[in-house]
C-alpha cells in the first residue's frame, strides 16, 4: 500500500512541534519518544504500520482546539483516533503526522430520558453509552461487534453499523448533533437535541467522513427504550440460494426482524469447531431475531417459521428460553474469533442488493478456488452487507498480496451487481485505490470539494479515502 512521502520540513521541526504541543497540554498528554509512539503505529488493519511523529491525548474540546491550531500553523497533518479498531486503516498514521487520540474524552455530559438522548464525549466506548442508560431500560442502537472497544468518535468517523441496523439504522440515523473542532481550531456545533438540519445537512456529511473534515469531541445520540423481549430462530438450508430466497421472502412478507444473520458452510464449520454451539453442519444457516412482547414475538416467529418451512430447511430451531437464545447466537458471535484461531484473515465489507446474494456467493466460491484461498462468509443478510473472510497465512511470502487481489476482485463484483465497496467499515487506505471502480472522476471530485471547504489546507487525515493521485495536487498545495 502506497503512502505519501513524509514531509521533510515537518520531520525536521519535530522538536519545535512537540514543544509547542507541550505548551498547551499536560506533560503526559504528549507522546513523542519513538518507543512510545509505536503504540499508535496501526489500527486493526495490522498489515500496515507506521509510527507517527507524535501522539497527543487532549482531555477537553479546548485542548483539542489548541492542538489543531498549532498543527495548522505548523502545517502538520493530523490523524484523529478513537480506539484504533478500524479495519480499513482509517487511523493509520504517516511519519509526519500527529495522532490526536480522544480516549481521555470519555465523560457522559447529559442524559435526558424525556427527550430520549444522551450527550457524551466521543472517546467513550460504544458499549458504555448503552451502559450509562441501561439501568433505566434504554439503549443506544448501533452495535458494531467491536462495541466493547470502539469509541463513538470512530463510529461517527466511519458511520458504523451493527447487527441490529435493519430495524434501527446505522450511526448517522442515530446521531443528533456534534461538537466539532475544525483544522484551524474553530469549534462548531452541528445539530443538537432537536431533529434534522435547519439548512444544509452538514452533520449528515460529517458522519462517515473518516476524520477528514473535523475532530468530533462531543456527540448527542438518540437513545431508545429497550423492547420487552427478543427471540431468535435458527434455520439451516442445503444451499446458499435457498437461504437467500428465504431472506427475501421474509422481508417481502412484511415482518421486519431486528437481525437476519447468514453463515455459510466454511464459517459454520470453523465456529462449530471453536464454540460448539451445536449448529447443523449444512450449506447455509440463518439466524433471524424479532422483538416485542411475548405475544408479538410468537406471532412474528410463527410467520417466519412458516416461510422457512416452505423452503425445506434441514434444521429449524426456535428458542424457548434465554439460554437457548444465547446458544443460537453463540456460534455467530464467535465466528470472527474462530477464524482468527485457525488463520490470518482479511475481513471484507462490501454491500450487495439482497437479490444478488446467490449469484455473488457462487462467484466468490469460484474466485476462492481460482486464487487457492479459502473464503468464509458471515454477514448481515437483511441489508446485503457481506463480510467475506479471506483466510491466508501472513508468514507465507506472497499470501497477503494474493489475499488483497482476491479481496479487490470480490469488492469489484459487489459494485458490478449494483452494490458498493464498503457497508460499514469505511474506505481508509484499504479500499482507497478501488474508489475508481465505483465512482467516476466527477463523483470523486464532488467529494473532494467538501474537504476543500472544511479543511482547505488538507491536513486532516489527508492520505485516506481517495486515490492518492486524485488528491496529490491538493495535499501538496
Partner 1 sequence: MTPVNEAELAEAVAAAKGPLAVRGGGTRPIGRPVVGEPLSVAELSGIELYEPGALTIVVKAGTPLAEIEAALAAENQRLAFEPIDHRGLLGTTGEPTIGGVVAANVSGPRRIQVGAARDHLLGVRFVDGTGTIIKNGGRVMKNVTGYDLVKLMAGSFGTLGVLSEVSLKVLPKTDVIASLRIQGLTDAGAVRAMSQALGSPFEVSGAAHISGEAGQGAITLIRVEGFEASVAYRLAQLTELLVGAEGEITHLTDPAKVRTLWRGVRDVEPLHDHAGDIWRLSVKPSDAPGIVSRMPDGTRVVYDWGGGLIWAATAPGTDLRAEIGPYHGHATLIRASEATRAALPVFQPEPVRLAAISQGLRQKFDPRGILNQGLMG
Ligand X SMILES: Cc1cc2nc3c(=O)[nH]c(=O)nc-3n(C[C@H](O)[C@H](O)[C@H](O)COP(=O)(O)OP(=O)(O)OC[C@H]3O[C@@H](n4cnc5c(N)ncnc54)[C@H](O)[C@@H]3O)c2cc1C
Q: Long-range pairs for 467-471 at CB < 8 Å and ≥24 separation?
A: 467/432, 467/433, 467/435, 467/436, 468/2, 468/4, 468/432, 470/435, 470/441, 470/444, 470/445
Site string for partner 1, 260-299 (x = CB under 8 A): --------------------------------xx-xx--x
- Using CB atoms within 10 Å of the CB of residue 322, give its burial: 0 to 12 exposed, 13 to 18 middle, 19+ buried: exposed
Q: Which stretch binds ligand X (CB under 6 A): 12-20, 49-57, 155-163, 414-422?
A: 155-163
Instruction: Please state the separation of Cα 101 from the chain's center in Å.
Output: 18
| Of residues 237 and 379, the one with the C-beta less far from ligand X | 379
Q: In angstroms, rounded to a whole number, what is the distance separating the alpha carbons of residues 235 and 309?
A: 9
Q: In this structure, are residues 249 and 206 in contact, taking their beta carbons and an 8 Å threshold?
A: no
Of the pair 51, 161, the CB lying nearest ligand X is at: 161
**Shortest Cβ contact with ligand X: which residue?**
154
473 exposed, middle or buried (CB, 10 Å; 0-12, 13-18, 19+)? exposed
Shortest distance (Å) from residue 154 CB to ligand X: 2
Judged by CB under 8 A, the number of residues near partner 1 is: 94
Q: Measured from the CB of residue 312, what is the shortest distance to partner 1 in angstroms?
A: 19
| Local structure of 440: helix, strand or coil | coil
- Measure the CA–CA gap between 72 and 448, rounded to whole angstroms: 19
Q: Which does 91 bind (CB under 5 to 8 A by kind): ligand X, partner 1, none?
A: ligand X
Select from partner 1, ligand X, none the partner in contact with residue 422, using the beta carbon and a kind-dependent cut-off of 5 to 8 Å.
partner 1
404 binds partner 1 (CB under 8 A): no
Taking each helix axis as running N to C, give the angle between helix 294-309 and helix 240-252, from 0 to 180 degrees, rounded to the nearest 10: 130
- Supply the minimum distance, in Å, between the C-beta of residue 377 and ligand X: 15
> Which position among 90, 257, 280, 384 is part of the footprint of ligand X (CB under 6 A)?
90
Q: Does 161 bind ligand X (CB under 6 A)?
A: yes
Helix (H, G, I), strand (E, B) or coil at 28: helix
Least distance to partner 1, CB of residue 249, Å: 7
Size of the site for ligand X (CB under 6 A): 37
Q: Which is nearer to ligand X, 153 or 308 (CB)?
A: 153
Shortest distance in whole angstroms from residue 239 CB to ligand X: 26
How far is it, in rounded angstroms, from Cα 92 to Cα 43?
A: 6
Of residues 173-202, those binding ligand X (CB under 6 A):
none
Residue 354 binding: pick among partner 1, ligand X, none (C-beta 5-8 Å cut-off by kind): partner 1
CA distance 294 to 292: 6
Query: Site for partner 1 (CB under 8 A): which residue of 47, 205, 342, 400?
Result: 205
**90 interacts with partner 1 by CB under 8 A:** no
Site for partner 1 (CB under 8 A): which residue of 65, 383, 391, 459? 383
Q: Residue from 77, 154, 177, 384 that binds ligand X (CB under 6 A)?
A: 154
Which of 110, 228, 393, 472 is close enough to bind partner 1 by CB under 8 A?
A: 228
Residues of span 35-64 touching partner 1 by CB under 8 A: none
Residue 145 contacts ligand X per CB under 6 A: yes
Say how far apart CA 96 and CA 108 lie, in whole Å: 33
What's the length of the chain? 477
Query: What is the side-by-side strand order in the sheet with 108-112?
Result: 108-112, 117-121, 215-222, 175-181, 187-191
Q: Which of 63, 210, 291, 318 binds ligand X (CB under 6 A)?
A: 210
Q: Which CB sits closer to partner 1, 78 or 381?
A: 381
Residue 421-460 contact track with partner 1, rule CB under 8 A, x = bound: xxxxxxx---x---x--xxx-xxx-xx-xxxxxx------
Cα dist. 206→191, 230, 283 in Å? Answer: 11, 33, 41
Is 141 a binding residue for partner 1 by CB under 8 A? The answer is: no
| 191 in Cβ contact with 198 (< 8 Å) | no
**Residue (384 or 426) nearer to ligand X, CB:** 426
**Cα(15)–Cα(33) distance, integer angstroms:** 11
Angle formed at CA 161 by CA 155 and CA 166, multiple of 5 degrees:
150
Which residues between 231 and 260 bind partner 1 (CB under 8 A)? Answer: 247-249, 251-256
Q: Which residues bind ligand X (CB under 6 A)?
A: 43-44, 79-87, 90-91, 102, 122, 144-146, 150-151, 153-155, 157-158, 160-162, 210-211, 215-216, 336, 424-426, 461
Amino acid at each position: 500500500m502506497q503512502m505519501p512521502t513524509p514531509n521533510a520540513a515537518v520531520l525536521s521541526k519535530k522538536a519545535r512541534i512537540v514543544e509547542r504541543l507541550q505548551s498547551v497540554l499536560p506533560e503526559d498528554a504528549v507522546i513523542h519518544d519513538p518507543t512510545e509512539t509505536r503504540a499508535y503505529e496501526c489500527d486493526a488493519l495490522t498489515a500496515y504500520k507506521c509510527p507517527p511523529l507524535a501522539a497527543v491525548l487532549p482531555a477537553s474540546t479546548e485542548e483539542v482546539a489548541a492542538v489543531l491550531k498549532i498543527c495548522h500553523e505548523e502545517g502538520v497533518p493530523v490523524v484523529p483516533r478513537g480506539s484504533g479498531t478500524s479495519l480499513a486503516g482509517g487511523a493509520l498514521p504517516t511519519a509526519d503526522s500527529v495522532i490526536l487520540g480522544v480516549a481521555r474524552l470519555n465523560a457522559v455530559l447529559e442524559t435526558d430520558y424525556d427527550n430520549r438522548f444522551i450527550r457524551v464525549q466521543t472517546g467513550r466506548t460504544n458499549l458504555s453509552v448503552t451502559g450509562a442508560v441501561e439501568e433505566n431500560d434504554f439503549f443506544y442502537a448501533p452495535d458494531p461487534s467491536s462495541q466493547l472497544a470502539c469509541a463513538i468518535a470512530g463510529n461517527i468517523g466511519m458511520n458504523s453499523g451493527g447487527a441490529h441496523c435493519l430495524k434501527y439504522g446505522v450511526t448517522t440515523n442515530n446521531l443528533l448533533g456534534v461538537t466539532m473542532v475544525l483544522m484551524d481550531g474553530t469549534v462548531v456545533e452541528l445539530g443538537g437535541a432537536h431533529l434534522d438540519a435547519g439548512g444544509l445537512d452538514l452533520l449528515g456529511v460529517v458522519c462517515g467522513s473518516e476524520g477528514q473534515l473535523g475532530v468530533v469531541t462531543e456527540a448527542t445520540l438518540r437513545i431508545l427504550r429497550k423492547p420487552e423481549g427478543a427471540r431468535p430462530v435458527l434455520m439451516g438450508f442445503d444451499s446458499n440460494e435457498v437461504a437467500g430466497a428465504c431472506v427475501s421472502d421474509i422481508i417481502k412478507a412484511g415482518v421486519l426482524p431486528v437481525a437476519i444473520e447468514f453463515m455459510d458452510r466454511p464459517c459454520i464449520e470453523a465456529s462449530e469447531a471453536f464454540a460448539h454451539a451445536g449448529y447443523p453442519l449444512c450449506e447455509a444457516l440463518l439466524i433471524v431475531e424479532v422483538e416485542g412482547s411475548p405475544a408479538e414475538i410468537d406471532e412474528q416467529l410463527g410467520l417466519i417459521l412458516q416461510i422457512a418451512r416452505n423452503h425445506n430447511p434441514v434444521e429449524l430451531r426456535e428458542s424457548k428460553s434465554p439460554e437457548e437464545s444465547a446458544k443460537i447466537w453463540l456460534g455467530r458471535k464467535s465466528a470472527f474469533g474462530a477464524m482468527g484461531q485457525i488463520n490470518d484473515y482479511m475481513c471484507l465489507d462490501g454491500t450487495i442488493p439482497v437479490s444478488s446474494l446467490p449469484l455473488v456467493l457462487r462467484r466468490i466460491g469460484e474466485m476462492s478456488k481460482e486464487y487457492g484461498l479459502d473464503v468464509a462468509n458471515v454477514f448481515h443478510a437483511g441489508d446485503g452487507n457481506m463480510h467475506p473472510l479471506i483466510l491466508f497465512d501472513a508468514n507465507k511470502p506472497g499470501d497477503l498480496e494474493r489475499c488483497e487481489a482476491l479481496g479487490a476482485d470480490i469488492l469489484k463484483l459487489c459494485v458490478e451487481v449494483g452494490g458498493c465497496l464498503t457497508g460499514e467499515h469505511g474506505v481508509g487506505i484499504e479500499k482507497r485505490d478501488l474508489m475508481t471502480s465505483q465512482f467516476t472522476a466527477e463523483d470523486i471530485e464532488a467529494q473532494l470539494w467538501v474537504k476543500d471547504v472544511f479543511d482547505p489546507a488538507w491536513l486532516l487525515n489527508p492520505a485516506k479515502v481517495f486515490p492518492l493521485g486524485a488528491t496529490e495536487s491538493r495535499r501538496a498545495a
